[in-house]
Structure 1
Amino acid sequence: MTSRTDFKKTLDAYQARQGRFRVVDVPDMRYLMIDGHGDPNTSSAFSEAVEALYPVAYKLKFASKRDLGRDYVVPPLEGLWWAEDMAAFTVARDKSRWDWTLMLMVPDWIDQTMVSTAVEQTRARNRPARLDEVRLETLSEGRCVQTLHVGSFDDEANVLAHLHHEVIPGHGFRMVGTHHEIYLSDFRRVAPAKHRTILRQPVTIEGAPGV
């Protein structure tokens, strides 16, 4: 019987605890990605991105189990978030100004040919509106600081402000890269008060060149 890998349990990058800010060195990871802009609560582009990513991800999972004998749990949805003025996250929370990339991680044994096949299989069956925008890309974050937030997304502001203005400079770091969220709970099915979200920020040593 084929064993099934659960990356939430086996990858150190998916480990976080509420109230603790942890420095972690994240390896390069490969994702199915789609970009977008605007309020995730009201933007059709956001829901359409989710609807395009998951069918491809599950077809990859089934192909991996069938053809390679390597089964795994489809990892949690993740998102990169940014705005021209990052105060839109920690102060104003003006979601209409947010840019984002939604992502689902794929194992390193999945190649572009498998992804292209999964996209074509999805197209033949139900053709999600944004299917043609799904891409496979490597994300290189390196050293990061992360914590677990439990509760509504709208309650993240104070945690992020503490992370950005106290924890990160307190460790002699400065922020680089893009704010990253990992949704350990399915926000389509779990009550907001019970959402479990890893909040991650890539960093570099203060004074070092950054991206």
Structure 2
Amino acid sequence: MVAGDEQLYKVRKGAVDIVNVPELGFVVVAGSGAPEGAEFAAAIQALYAVSYGAHFLLKKQVGQAPHVMPLEALWWVDDMSEGQASFLNTDRGLWHWQAMIMQPDPIEAGIVATAIAQAREKKASPALDQLVYQRWSEGRCAQLLHIGPYAEEAASIARLHEAIADAGYRVRGHHHEIYLGDPRRSAPDKLRTILRHPIEPAEAPVTSSRTSTRG
């Protein structure tokens, strides 16, 4: 079953959904290394500073604004065998990531540029120089809701990939996570993470792809 746009950030518990992700706007910081490292922390600071800045700029202009969306990230490694051999044993220092926050319409590039400038004045994060606004269409994806610690995602990811194969698809692109829970405020077993992966028909010509990694 292909879910509508309302399912993109509202995944049914216990279900694997096939969704069509349209073109959306994001603020993005790309980097590498472990998610607990300083580079990823600085990226998160920059993304939230600009996202909240854009929210308040729009609210000031028109009187209302959509709420700030959750943090998301793409994860991958360069060596296909590195991630496939043992997901949880992958050297975290070799991970590549693209941290991002979706910017709902009518937030657009001009508002984001102003928000970046304001965040720079406040010296909100050293990662502001790497932050960009991008529009991106992820296309057809499969996703499920993982409940629990990030380090225990392996079984959920295996289930997602199994469902993808059973539905006649194969993975493409990068592993995608959407963090609905705040680890600073939620117990690890209460954390909610949407695990998403772009897919294509299994019989389609093979497209370039890197393996996903997280744990």
User: Tell me, what secondary structure is at the counterpart of 1:140?
Assistant: strand
CA shift digits 1:65-116 (9 cap, x unpaired):
1113331110000011111233277352432221101111102322222111
User: Tell me, what secondary structure is at the counterpart of 1:27?
Assistant: strand
| Identity percentage of aligned residues | 41
CA distance in 1, matches of 2:136, 2:185: 28
User: Tell me, what secondary structure is at the counterpart of 2:184?
Assistant: coil
- TM-score for the superposition, normalised by structure 1: 0.88
Q: 1:139 — aligned with what? A: 136
RMSD: 1.7
Question: Unpaired runs of 5+ in structure 1?
Answer: 1-9
Alpha carbons of 1:90 and 1:19: their partners in 2 closer, same or farther (altered >3 Å)?
Answer: farther
TM-aligned CA deviation for residue 189 of structure 1: 2.3
TM-aligned CA deviation for residue 195 of structure 1: 0.6
TM-aligned CA deviation for residue 178 of structure 1: 1.1
CA distance in 1, matches of 2:85, 2:181: 24
CA distance in 2, matches of 1:81, 1:142: 17
Q: 1:161 — aligned with what? A: 158
The answer on 1:193 being equivalent to 2:193 is no
CA distance in 1, matches of 2:94, 2:85: 7
- TM-score for the superposition, normalised by structure 2: 0.87
Q: 1:3 — aligned with what? A: none
The alignment of Structure 1 onto Structure 2 pairs a total of residues equal to: 200
Question: Unpaired runs of 5+ in structure 2?
Answer: 209-215
Q: 1:21 — aligned with what? A: 16
Q: 2:111 — aligned with what? A: 114
The answer on 1:176 being equivalent to 2:169 is no
The answer on 1:37 being equivalent to 2:32 is yes
Do the aligned partners of 1:88 and 1:98 also contact (CA within 8 Å) in 2? no
Alignment of 1:38-77 (within 5 A): 38-41=33-36, 43-77=37-71
Greater CA drift, 185-194 or 85-94: 85-94
TM-aligned CA deviation for residue 140 of structure 1: 1.4
Alpha carbons of 1:195 and 1:89: their partners in 2 closer, same or farther (altered >3 Å)?
Answer: farther
CA distance in 1, matches of 2:131, 2:99: 10
TM-aligned CA deviation for residue 126 of structure 1: 2.6
User: Where do 4+ consecutive residues of structure 1 move more than 4 Å?
Assistant: none
CA distance in 1, matches of 2:23, 2:86: 26
CA distance in 2, matches of 1:45, 1:136: 19
User: Tell me, what secondary structure is at the counterpart of 2:196?
Assistant: strand
Do the aligned partners of 1:88 and 1:95 also contact (CA within 8 Å) in 2? no
